[in-house]
Structure 1
Amino acid sequence: MSAIGDNGDTERIPVHLHPLLTKELKGIETWEEWLDLWNRNTSFEGAVGLLHYCPLDRGASSAAVCFCLDVAYGFTAASELRNPGDHMLRQNYPIYSMLFKDRIEFLEARRLVAKKAWEVLCNKFFHNTSKNSRCPSWWDNVKKIEVLQKVLWFFRVAPSRGSSFESSLFHYLNYRRADDHYAKVSYDFLSELLALAWTYDKEHMINRAGDKWRQSESDEQIKETKWAFSFLQPELLLITEKLDLLSLLLEDDAKVNKETMRFLKKMALETPNEKGKGGEDRERNCRSIEEAVWNGSRAATIYLLLAVKQEEQRTHEKRRRALAERAAADQKLKGLTS
């Protein structure tokens, strides 16, 4: 179709006003503003779009990190996203979206939103962008107790009859990290977090990160973080075992408290006595650490090695104190006789 120009000539290509010239644009300046948009949004596409631009980069607020972890929970299992108040028909209700060729069910739409939150977490938070630094880029947030607790809640280990998401999550992390970018990023994040958690103290961190780290951490912050890691050791232990990283407990700087040793022993004694089956011993767990080692329990092996290591450390400390006391006594005697 042609158009008539001001000079009366026929124009072959009509001239239109660019649509952006009349579009008012502004940025989302605060986390609260982003959250308000999220709460007012009702579309699947809007939820995915907002998550794509969720502010999770360095310097992100603790609230933003915790919120995304909440949303991402259940991304591998739609069954975890059932609301007890949902009617069965609503759970299977189809959603039509321009993003999909075919309709999707309501629960699957929820899972896809959770999956988007997971991907954003991996790209913007779990991914360590400080490759040339001795402290990971996520450290400033994770050292905060509320974020650390939320991270450990998200990656918590399910009991024997736990949720399908919790069991599928660790299967995903362990077996998909070779070919799945997000699995590898999150596995690397957990591995580095666990390595820090088991060895964290002031001296170790100064050796690891140098004076620059020391200048950015107050003594109160160091004390609080150290307490948090010690207090949460049982939860850390379960995750460490699930990722087959129990060898971290044998590091020279590892801090393993008495409660964790008891927990590790309990874990080892829950090993089924497969090799000792027969007669009355059928379907029972191991009765001793040695029996658990015989049955291939990694937890039992680590427990034995830790017990030996800690006993030797106590013996060495006693010997060191005795030598110091003897040296002091000799020095005192020398002063009296001179």
Structure 2
Amino acid sequence: METVAKVVQESDPLSRPFREISSWSEWKKKWTAVTTVEEAFGLLHVGFAVPEKEVKFNALEEERADRVQLYLEVSNGHAFFPSSQKRTLRQKVAEKAWKVLCNEVFASRGRMAGFTGTDWSIFCTTPAVFRKLLWFFTVGEGQNLPTKPTHDHDVARKFLLWMISFVWQLETPDRDQEKLYKDSRPLMAEMLCRMDVPEIIHRSSLEVDEPTLTRLKKLALSLDTKFSGHRAFYRNVDEAVFYRSRIAELVVVIEASRRGGQFWENQRAREEAAKLAVRA
């Protein structure tokens, strides 16, 4: 028995020393050297658990942003392949990154290992991260949008709807950031349309400026929400409404609301003028 036990002990595959990845910079070095799918899977699995450096706050935020941005880049194209074809190795890696992103970021809004205590509502509006999120969910006519009936897509969908509503109404003293958020409204509106939920704009009372309305009109003529993104090419908004395009219906509601608002604004002005005339 002792001889057998000795043989087993000598062949222990865990007898060599192990250590943990010590920093995000070390993780990135290992990532650039990866050549197999299995190695990529392993690194992606632990990417958000790698400890953060003891650095100044600004540098820490940059490192956190870098992690999310890298995962978004790797996840690009995770669901964009015909069901009749086998996934490529690149798509398998992208799908793994997507699942980690959903579990570690979208599901928890940033409260993950290494991000504990982070206010995700602030973090996701960091310009670098916000721009990358916009890119990820709009590239390839929305190929990365969460539109499938799966758990991961449901998690990402809830996050995205929350983010759009939050950013759309966000007020900030930083003029550059305020301009970034407002200029992004047309893109965010398109994301809602491609997810087949354009009515959220009206239900959530989101302010629609002219660039956003112009984008909605364009989408109303070329995107049929009844068929989850199939092109329709209507001649005008009225025709799109006739064929029950929900984007076109939203455009009509917005324009009617504007006309109504202008009517009451003019009415108040007339009443004020009448009061001043009586006093005179």
| Short-chain TM bin | 0.7 to 0.9
Q: Which runs of 5+ in 1 are unaligned?
A: 4-11, 80-104, 160-165, 203-217, 273-283
How many Å separate the matches in 2 of 1:255 and 1:157? 25
Q: Does residue 148 of structure 1 match 2:130?
A: yes
One-letter amino acid matched to 1:313 = G
Q: How does 1:1-338 map to 2 (within 5 A)?
A: 2-3=2-3, 13-14=5-6, 16=9, 23-29=17-23, 31-55=24-48, 61-77=64-80, 108-128=88-108, 138-156=120-138, 158=140, 166-167=142-143, 169-170=144-145, 173-176=146-149, 180-198=150-168, 200-202=169-171, 219-220=173-174, 223-251=175-203, 253-270=205-222, 285-320=233-268, 329=276
> Counterpart in 2 of 1:6?
none
SS in 1 for 2:196: coil
Identity rate, percent: 24
Q: Which amino acid aligns with 2:124?
A: V
Give 1:53 shift: 1.0
CA 1:247–1:137: 2 relative to 1, 3 Å:
farther
Query: What is the count of residue pairs matched by the alignment?
Result: 252
> Which ranges of 4 or more aligned residues in structure 1 deviate by more than 6 Å?
17-21, 56-60
CA contact (8 A) 2:199 2:246 kept: no
- Secondary structure at the counterpart of residue 34 of structure 1: helix
Distance 1:147 1:56, change over 3 A: farther
The one-letter amino acid paired with 2:192 is: T
Alpha-carbon RMSD: 3.6
Task: After TM superposition, give the deviation of residue 267 of structure 1 in Å.
Answer: 2.2
Larger radius of gyration: 1
Distance 1:78 1:265 in 2: 29
Q: Which ranges of structure 2 fall in alignment gaps of 5 or more residues?
A: 53-60, 112-117, 225-231
